[in-house]
Amino acid sequence: MEKKLLIVDDEAHIRMLIEQTLEELEDEGVSFLTAENGEQALQIIEAEKPQLVFLDVMMPKMNGMEVCRKVKKELEMDNVFIVLLTAKGQELDRQRGQEVGADLYMTKPFDPEIILAKAKEVLQIVE
């Protein structure tokens, strides 16, 4: 099965940073998809069905919480692992992330090692 990963952030440099962090996964046959807002992300998730999504919370058009809620609750795509990325680390935000169905909640700035390890785990890439 083809492994797909979606990176969603309205800031291009953050998308690039995450891609660079994960670039070694391309050697494992993982294809990268990107989106710069929530609406775009939702369309890509429905069409491409990535196994893993790194999803920014604060975005125009539709925020990450809303995208996550739609994917998990409305589309019932439980096989999509969603990591919410946010600058906010407050407990309330974490709870909201859990309520909308996020599988993991990470605050920025994030540790590249953790992002890479999580991606390998979710995509079942064994070294």
Tens of pLDDT, residue by residue, the chain (127 residues): 789 999 999 999 999 999 999 999 999 999 999 999 999 999 999 999 999 999 999 998 899 999 999 999 999 999 999 999 988 767 788 889 899 999 999 988 889 999 999 999 999 998 6
> What's the token pair of residue 66?
């809303």
Amino acid at residue number 33? L
Please give the CATH topology (third level) of the domain spanning 3-122.
Rossmann fold (3.40.50)
89: Cβ–Cβ under 8 A, 6 or more apart, which residues?
107
pTM over 0.85: yes
> Are 65 and 97 within 8 A, CB to CB?
yes
Beta bridge partners of 7: 34, 54
